[in-house]
Amino acid sequence: TALDDVTVLTVATEENDGFKRFLRSAKTYDIDVQVLGQGEKWEGGDMNFPGGGQKVNLLKEKVEELMKTKENDHIVMFTDSYDVMFLGTLGDILVKFKAMPDTRVLFSAEPFCWPDPKLAAMYPNAEVTNPYLNSGGFIGYLSELNAILNARKIKDNEDDQLYYTKVYLSELRDSLKISLDHKSEIFQNLNGALSDVQLRINTTEEWPYLENVATKQRPLVVHGNGPAKLMLNTMGNYLAKSWSMKKGCALCAERKIQLNEDNLPHVMLAIFIEVATPFVEEFFESVLLLDYPKNRVHLILRNNVPFHEPYVDEFYNKYAKEYATAKRIKPIDYMSEAEARNLAKDRCTNSMCDYLFSVDSVARLKPQTLRVLLTSGYDVIAPMLARPGQAWSNFWGAINASGYYARSTDYMDIVYGSIRGVWNVPFITNCYLVKMELFHTPKGQEVTYVKDDVDPDMAFCNSLRSIGVMMYVNNEEDLGHLVNHENFDVSRTHPDVYQVLDNKMEWERRYLHKEYLANFIDGQKPKMPCPDVYWFPLMSPRFCKEWIDIMEAYGKWSDGSNNDKRLEGGYEAVPTRDIHMNQVGLERQWLHILKEYVRPLQEMVFTGYYHNPPVSIMNFVVRYRPDEQPSLRPHHDSSTYTINLALNTPNEDYTGGGCHFLRYNCSVRDTRLGWLLMHPGRLTHYHEGLPVNSGTRYIMISFVDP
Amino acid sequence: TALDDVTVLTVATEENDGFKRFLRSAKTYDIDVQVLGQGEKWEGGDMNFPGGGQKVNLLKEKVEELMKTKENDHIVMFTDSYDVMFLGTLGDILVKFKAMPDTRVLFSAEPFCWPDPKLAAMYPNAEVTNPYLNSGGFIGYLSELNAILNARKIKDNEDDQLYYTKVYLSELRDSLKISLDHKSEIFQNLNGALSDVQLRINTTEEWPYLENVATKQRPLVVHGNGPAKLMLNTMGNYLAKSWSMKKGCALCAERKIQLNEDNLPHVMLAIFIEVATPFVEEFFESVLLLDYPKNRVHLILRNNVPFHEPYVDEFYNKYAKEYATAKRIKPIDYMSEAEARNLAKDRCTNSMCDYLFSVDSVARLKPQTLRVLLTSGYDVIAPMLARPGQAWSNFWGAINASGYYARSTDYMDIVYGSIRGVWNVPFITNCYLVKMELFHTPKGQEVTYVKDDVDPDMAFCNSLRSIGVMMYVNNEEDLGHLVNHENFDVSRTHPDVYQVLDNKMEWERRYLHKEYLANFIDGQKPKMPCPDVYWFPLMSPRFCKEWIDIMEAYGKWSDGSNNDKRLEGGYEAVPTRDIHMNQVGLERQWLHILKEYVRPLQEMVFTGYYHNPPVSIMNFVVRYRPDEQPSLRPHHDSSTYTINLALNTPNEDYTGGGCHFLRYNCSVRDTRLGWLLMHPGRLTHYHEGLPVNSGTRYIMISFVDP
Ligand SMILES: O=C(O)CCC(=O)C(=O)O
Ligand SMILES: O=C(O)CCC(=O)C(=O)O
Ligand SMILES: [Fe+2]
Ligand SMILES: [Fe+2]
Ligand SMILES: [Mn+2]
Ligand SMILES: [Mn+2]
Ligand SMILES: [Mn+2]
Ligand SMILES: [Mn+2]
């Protein structure tokens, strides 16, 4: 048969994302598909229930028309469209079809007898892997197909698969030579077949392909029937030459669009602060730095956390006027999250706004993010954002039976960027761009964030999925990350400084000394103000200030006596007026600072000494004052090495002070804000705290590896 | 009454030590005593049993004689002599006696009704403290006494006390006005009264005195009756102006004699090595150094310990000829200790030898000791020798009921030298001088070291006590000390070097570096070959040699691999070829060396670091050889400070070697025998052992305070 002796047919009354994917796959393999029912109203019922008789009637009409012009050995292939992709050429399909013994019509096969399980008993050989007929794909000679379609009458809302099944189970099976593709030589139905089917990505082949490992076949048509359509969405990211190991995301390239810089789209930037969020200052900074003209941006600023209101105020007062329009929702508006999100969407729908750009305060965006999303060409697209170094991200690769997060096989690869592209996923949150056109259709108007017992973002994604709108996440390049708000405790003074474990990136930027990294420049000799006493920039001025604020807010300085209930032995031979880190909930954080930032300095200068993590039981801020305790008598520390961080500045905040090392008759008096002294603790560096003459001196001390 | 109207009488058939003490006490208080029975044979029986009728008959005779010349109001006082001392003048005695109401004769009183307890029922007032008559002392008017003595007949071997008791219990009590000194106003019997009686030494009075704390009396005659005679021996050291806090030992001064240098006494020097003894070399050295011409000394050298025989051989061969005579008893003579000691005594008795000087190998004598003892004027005298710093000595201050050691109240004062003098004690051992005359009397010939189930020295002292010979110990000056042989284990190689805990004095002299003490000279700057690396002379060359010998004799050097079963973790990252101190039983000793000799150096140089005792788990000798393990790669030690003692000498015993401190780019190559390097272990002093090119380098290492 020549290829023009084959007619490929499908039915589609809508042009949704699934249909577009179907057409693209046909085009990929040069398959010319005739679409039946375009522009017609669908009467076939909800896809999740029996129905689809309309497909049979549309096909019957078309086949009768072909009977008039075509030979009897003309071949017709029919497939569903929204949940189907071609995986090979028509030539390959015909070769396989013609090689089938005693077959004039071949239906795809599946493991479930649906929609009427009682019919299972009537099937001839129920022992094969996929015993039952599926009507999502079939191929056959024109005359036999015509006979099948004229066997009985079917209403548009009756079930198509039941129709064909009854034909197959009648005497027509033998007379018309109807077979089932039990081995998925051509048709692969995914429902119930997930353990048989494998997506092969990293092979010697140029493009990923599907393999039925049970039958050793490479199917040429894949059908994400029933609940398997989410699996097809995932596989669709790779199949039909969408993505390859070598070429990356071919599909992304096809879809990219250009922006007209003279007429840039209007974007509704909807900011949501729903939870107390670490480093909100840095969040607003990243928003301000988005590379997009603010006069094309409409701002909605929703804050539901009283703790953040002062800073939100500051930001809004300063910057709202730069945006095209601006609106604010405050904690005292008592609006639920879902309502607020709906409000933003509706405000966008009802205005001349082209895109909704929804950004939660936990999202931290690169300046280019908005433009990257706009030019991607997808309707609903999120930048891939993850908590640095963690699996937690703003999308789900799969969804489990109860609608919640499940891990897809490629989830970690996408999060860690070991594969890059734009990925069809079932759930996105925290930050995404939505094309507003979507919401202008009747179905689009039903999309909502409000659903009982379901989080607003889940409700939103659920409703997009239910109208056949696909969501994508973009990790073509690094577009930002998420902060972790889980342990953010706003009852603390300066809670951000507590975040070193949870939000390292922000914490380092704000609190590490700007010259900290320069400590490690090769060939540079570290400062040594006294023998074996090193001196390093460690913490930023802001860190020092906040650290002091925390201590003074807490206020319970020890009394400087030898009796100290905080210590195991209850006795301190060389007492200071101090506050221990565990009294202000900073113990874990400080130990982490020791491990992450102090230890590498130690390893650099005290060659060969390696103790990871550093152990330190005594971590405290000391306060020296002329009228309280001005100095500290000579002593050793119970440490391998001691660190002594200057939290404020001599001759500015106080006069006098400093540390004197008696065996070397050497003092460090001109200590520097945020700089760390590091000295051996136990044996050689007998030392004393020199008297403070005026003002208050604060230092942070740790006895490391006691 | 004038004093010459009193006659003081006693009975003594022998002139033993107790009698001499009695006479001296009388002389001290100017009391003129007439002694009855002198030169006569004693028929009164054993002092420990009833008897003494002879005393009554001798007295009766004397009193009848006095009746002829004296007035009726002449007063007669009678006391025992061997176990009695006067504590005051006759004047004081008369004043008290005359003040007694209704009394013409006063007998001393005691708490036991002896020798016939059945008579107790006949006593008039048995409720008083000392209800019963004692005949060891009484005073009365001549005529009444005469009546008492003529009341009945008594045989020499019948009991005197029973005689007087029967008189007292008859109608004569009232008619002759006989009273008992219940309150010990004059007479103090010690037996049964020890809790009433206190020896007052450290008072405002010039001389010690006896006080009856129950009756608040100061008795004027003390009687060590029965078993209390040992107590009297102790008290006699102080009473009757024998000794005072201020004047010290007045008695010693009285007894001292001068030697005739032209005719010095012959001394039998009897040396006994009965037990394996630490530092025997030093023992013989002290013997050789005794300040006495060897030609007046007869040597008996008895060794019963095969381990010592080689050195005894050496000594004997070299020095025996210098002595007047010399005899040797060897282990192979299979002679018991008691026999050997008897042999020495008898050899002395049967020759022209004046003194026996018995010296055990545990005794360490000052050169002057023999002369000090010879000139002391005592017949049996030991130098006070004690284990340094311990209570263990060569004498007992008291004896318990079973004849063994008991502590006297002054024992520790004598041992520690807080009181000095010559002390009457019931037992001496290890070293003593005996005047041979003693053994020429019939009783003296019974003295022996042999007694079943009793140690030879106890047997000897027992038999001296039983013949009334008193033993003395001299602590007027320091005459030497004892070594401690208890933990001396001759199965070890060089067992003496194991003795640092038990025999510090000898150990230090032999094994400490001769410049060790010079380390501590004020104002001297300790050597510092590299920054914070100190260098001290610590151990003697002999120590180093023996230490190496011990390791090589043991021989089980580790294999230099990372797996080391001797360690808790089983893993050593930087292995050496070594032997740990606990493998050769030197762990406790070495830790003691750390504490006693290394720690003070550390405290001197690493100011303010105090850790006592030093803790060290890793203590080992390392062996470097070109063909085995020549060097040690850079590392830190798990120590606060490390010590590294050179056990042999570069360019003599090996070439190459030394310790290189990488952070300071500084090496110590010219290490010195017995010198210690001390350096911080953990943080600053990254170091390596430099390669040995030829020979073998040995070092002793400790990781102190890990
Ligand atoms: O005042 C100083 O810089 C020394 C403080 C110190 O030594 C200590 O807290 O242990
Ligand atoms: O060879 C040396 O002197 C150094 C030995 C040493 O560092 C060690 O045993 O830990
Ligand atoms: Fe300190
Ligand atoms: Fe070492
Ligand atoms: Mn259907
Ligand atoms: Mn379908
Ligand atoms: Mn008697
Ligand atoms: Mn007596």
CA distance A540 to chain B (A): 27
Whether chain A has a CB inside 8 Å of the CB on B608: the answer is yes
| Local confidence band at A696 (pLDDT 50, 70, 90 cut-offs) | very high
pLDDT at A450 over 70: yes
Question: Stretch B45-69: mean pLDDT, rounded?
Answer: 87
Say what the alpha-carbon torsion angle B181, B183, B186, B191 is, to the nearest 10 degrees. Answer: 90
Are A662 and B636 in contact (CB < 8 Å)?
Answer: no
Report how far residue A702's alpha carbon sits from residue A697's, in angstroms, rounded to the nearest whole number.
17
Say what the alpha-carbon torsion angle B87, B90, B92, B94 is, to the nearest 10 degrees. Answer: 130
Q: State residue B378's pLDDT score.
A: 97
Is A677 close to ligand 1, i.e. is its CB under 6 Å away?
Answer: no
Pick from B607, B609, B680: CB nearest A662: B607
State the DSSP string of B70-90: S-TT-EEEEE-STTEEE-S-H
Closest ligand relative to A223 C-alpha: 6
pLDDT at B46 over 80: no
| Residues B217-244: tens digit of each pLDDT | 999 999 999 889 999 999 999 999 999 9
- What's the distance, CA A438 to chain centroid? 22
Residue that is written with structure tokens 């039909």 in the block: A240
A255 CB-contact burial (10 Å; exposed 0-12 / middle 13-18 / buried 19+): middle
The count of residues in chain B is: 706
Pick from A532, A608, A662: CB nearest B634: A608
CA distance A622 to chain B (A): 22
Pick from A608, A680, A686: CB nearest B680: A680
How many CB atoms are located within 10 Å of the residue A313 CB? Answer: 13
Mean pLDDT lowest for which of A403-407, A668-672, B71-75, B414-418?
A403-407
Distance A665 CA to ligand 2 centre (A): 30
User: In chain B, what residues touch A609 (CB-CB under 8 Å)?
Assistant: 636, 682-683, 686
Whether chain B has a CB inside 8 Å of the CB on A525: the answer is no
Whether chain B has a CB inside 8 Å of the CB on A638: the answer is no
Q: State residue A511's pLDDT score.
A: 98
Percentage of the residues of chain A whose pLDDT score is greater than 90? 91
- CA-closest candidate to residue B519, choices B595, B605, B593: B605
- CA-closest candidate to residue B350, choices B266, B264, B430: B266
**Residues in A 203-242 with any Cβ partner in B closer than 8 A:** none
Question: Stretch B411-421: mean pLDDT, rounded?
Answer: 96
| Residues B84-105: tens digit of each pLDDT | 999 999 999 999 999 999 999 9
A517 CB-contact burial (10 Å; exposed 0-12 / middle 13-18 / buried 19+): exposed
Residue that is written with structure tokens 């000052």 in the block: B366
ipTM over 0.90: no
CB of B213 closer than 8 Å to CB of B197: yes
Whether chain B has a CB inside 8 Å of the CB on A636: the answer is yes
User: In chain A, what residues touch B531 (CB-CB under 8 Å)?
Assistant: 531-532
CB of A105 closer than 8 Å to CB of A177: yes
Q: Residue A319 has which token pair? A: 């910057």
**Is the dihedral angle over the CA atoms B146, B149, B151, B152 positive or is it negative?**
negative
Q: State residue A47's pLDDT score.
A: 64
Question: Stretch B275-291: mean pLDDT, rounded?
Answer: 98
CB of B608 closer than 8 Å to CB of A636: yes
Q: State residue B21's pLDDT score.
A: 97
| Local confidence band at B352 (pLDDT 50, 70, 90 cut-offs) | confident
Q: State residue A405's pLDDT score.
A: 86
| Residues A71-86: tens digit of each pLDDT | 988 999 999 999 999 9
Q: What stretch of H or E contains A511?
A: helix A504-511
Are B606 and A531 in contact (CB < 8 Å)?
Answer: no
Pick from A531, A606, A686: CB nearest B608: A686
pLDDT at B277 over 90: yes
Residue burial B576-597, b: 16+ Cβ < 10 Å; e: rest: bbbbbbebbebeebbbbbbbbb
- CA-closest candidate to residue A180, choices A117, A129, A106: A106
Whether chain A has a CB inside 8 Å of the CB on B664: the answer is no
Find the closest chain A residue to B609 by CA distance. A683
Distances (CA, A) of B635 to A147, A512, A615, A679, B694: 90, 32, 21, 19, 23
* Ligand 2 atom closest to residue B657's alpha carbon, by position in its atom list: 1
Residue nearest to atom 2 of ligand 2 (CA): B689
Are B608 and A636 in contact (CB < 8 Å)?
Answer: yes
Pick from A640, A663, A686: CB nearest B682: A640
Record the pTM: 0.79
CB of B53 closer than 8 Å to CB of B155: yes
Are B607 and A635 in contact (CB < 8 Å)?
Answer: no
Whether chain A has a CB inside 8 Å of the CB on B635: the answer is yes
Question: Stretch A543-560: mean pLDDT, rounded?
Answer: 97
Q: State residue B43's pLDDT score.
A: 81
User: In chain B, what residues touch A684 (CB-CB under 8 Å)?
Assistant: 532, 606, 680, 684
| Local confidence band at B279 (pLDDT 50, 70, 90 cut-offs) | very high
Q: State residue A1's pLDDT score.
A: 59
CB of A353 closer than 8 Å to CB of A436: yes
Q: Which residues pair with B669 in a beta bridge?
A: none
The count of residues in chain A is: 706
Question: Stretch A340-355: mean pLDDT, rounded?
Answer: 94
Q: State residue A449's pLDDT score.
A: 97
HEC string of B104-127 equals CEEEEEECCCCCCHHHHHHCCCCC
CB of B415 closer than 8 Å to CB of B387: no
pLDDT at A343 over 70: yes
- Which of A638, A644, A667, A685 to probe ligand 1 with, by most ligand atoms within 8 A of CB? A644
Residue burial A654-676, b: 16+ Cβ < 10 Å; e: rest: bebbbbbbebbeebbeebbbbbb
User: In chain A, what residues touch B683 (CB-CB under 8 Å)?
Assistant: 606, 609, 640-641, 680
Q: State residue B202's pLDDT score.
A: 86
All residues at 6 or more sequence positions from A499 whose CB lies less than 8 Å from its CB, including other chains: A278, A279, A487, A488, A506, A507
pLDDT at A48 over 70: no
Q: Residue B46 has which token pair? A: 């054993």
Residue type for position A89: T
Report how far residue A657's alpha carbon sits from residue A668's, in angstroms, rounded to the nearest whole number.
9
Question: Stretch A309-332: mean pLDDT, rounded?
Answer: 97
How many CB atoms are located within 10 Å of the residue B21 CB? Answer: 24
Report how far residue B567's alpha carbon sits from residue B90's, in angstroms, rounded to the nearest whole number.
81
Q: State residue A202's pLDDT score.
A: 86
Report how far residue B529's alpha carbon sits from residue B92's, in angstroms, rounded to the nearest whole number.
79
Report how far residue A485's alpha carbon sits from residue A304's, in angstroms, rounded to the nearest whole number.
15
pLDDT at A675 over 70: yes
Q: State residue B549's pLDDT score.
A: 98
Q: Residue B118 has which token pair? A: 């059945």
* Ligand 2 atom closest to residue B690's alpha carbon, by position in its atom list: 1
Whether chain A has a CB inside 8 Å of the CB on B27: the answer is no
How many CB atoms are located within 10 Å of the residue A553 CB? Answer: 11
Q: What stretch of H or E contains B373?
A: helix B369-374
Closest ligand relative to B55 C-alpha: 7
Percentage of the residues of chain B whose pLDDT score is greater than 90? 91
CB of A4 closer than 8 Å to CB of A34: no
CA distance from start to end of chain A? 86
**Is the dihedral angle over the CA atoms B335, B336, B337, B338 positive or is it negative?**
negative
Tell how strand B398-399 and strand B355-360 pair up.
unpaired
